[in-house]
Chain A
Amino acid sequence: MNCPECDAKLKIPDDASVGEIVSCPDCGADFEIASKNGTTYELKHAEKVGEDWGE
């Protein structure tokens, strides 16, 4: 599928799962896989790193 930001082709591995992040190689935008149905994906903008993120 194509990047919702810049329309570049996104490479999503076959074993990618919901909740994983994919990055656009062209514009650098990060997307989270919101849902997956076979090889059809729904993407949403990934959350920005928060102050409380970590281990």
Chain B
Amino acid sequence: MPKVRILFDRVRLEEKMLEEKSIELGHDTKMIDAKTTNISTESKKGDFDFGDVVLERCVSYFRGLHFTACLEFLDIPVFNRLDVANNCGNKMLTSLLLKKHNVPTPKTYFSFSSESAEGVLEKVGYPLVIKPVIGSWGRGVILLKDRDTADAIIEVRELSDGPLDRIYYLQEAIKRPPRDIRAIAVGDQVVAAMYRVSSGGFKTNIALGGEPILCEITKELEDVCMSASKAVGGGILGIDLMEDEKNGLVVHEINNTVEFKGLARVAKKDIPKEMIEFAVRSSSR
């Protein structure tokens, strides 16, 4: 009987769904709280009950990333792998990999000082979208429509002066319908997709009130998503795409610990089942 472990720091509906599905599938299933587990350079695999495979589901990106490194140190199969988590958790790394692997993605400019970012804005022109390289749920994603908005955002970043505030990620504002697409890729298939319709602003995140509507998985969507998945290393991923009026589907972000409670209610496939089965299948190879 495969032993499945679900690593969490906060139990959301997704983690409960995964646990229930894993038990239903007959697997020996346990939840592991990342906040209360200690690992050292002296640790051995046998010191823990990490089972045959771990699904890393921490809501804190850095906690999950570092815990994943420890699991791989102990030779425990984990989804997603450390390199995949690293590639997806940082939007700059994601954009570079997508472009490198010829996956359609918006033009994105990287600057490493405020002066340099101002230069890009003057040269490329408005509007551009500024995003924190690490962050989720649409936080800090701002449409820079004009110089005044850009100046204000850059000034705030200089005042807060976090280590990642000096990394400027400026992306072209894609002309698209007021929605984007979230596709869930598990291994070599897209198991579900939805449109996320904006509730009024330019952001479409469900966390900010975007409305989910089931989206047909076309061959184009499947192909683009599989290319994107391969570019970042594969696994269990939430792939965000926009419908560019000129260039068709473009991938702008890939999520490493994808949320799916809304989509699971309407999807034709059983999302948690696909995830568990993929993890078990992949770890036994």
**Residues of A with Cβ closer than 8 Å to B?**
17-21, 32, 46-47, 50-55
Contact = CB atoms under 8 A, between A and B. Distances in A.
Interface stretch (B145-153, B169-177, B196-204, B256-264): B256-264
B109 interface: no
B137 to A, nearest CB: 5
Contacts, number: 56
Interface in B104-162: 132, 134-137, 139, 162
A19 B15 contact: yes
Contacts of A52: 60-63, 134-136
A36 to B, nearest CB: 11
Contacts of A18: 11, 31, 33
Contact of A55 (B8, B31, B132, B238): B238
B257 A55 contact: yes
Interface string B7-22: 0111100011001000
A55 B259 contact: yes
A26 B179 CA distance: 37
Contact of B136 (A19, A46, A54): A54
Contacts of A46: 10
A48 B92 CA distance: 26
Q: Is the interface of A mostly helix, strand, loop or mixed?
A: loop
A1 B176 CA distance: 51
Interface in B24-66: 31, 33, 59-63
Nearest to B134: A52
A21 B10 contact: yes
B68 interface: no
29 contacts: A17-B11, A17-B16, A18-B11, A18-B31, A18-B33, A19-B8, A19-B15, A19-B31, A19-B33, A20-B10, A20-B11, A20-B16, A46-B10, A47-B10, A50-B60, A51-B132, A51-B134, A51-B135, A51-B139, A51-B162, A52-B60, A52-B61, A52-B62, A52-B134, A53-B61, A54-B139, A55-B136, A55-B137, A55-B255
A19 B34 CA distance: 10
Nearest to A16: B11
Contact of B137 (A20, A21, A47, A54): A54
B59 A54 contact: yes
Most buried by A among B10, B31, B258: B10
Given A53-B59, A54-B59, A19 B10 contact: yes
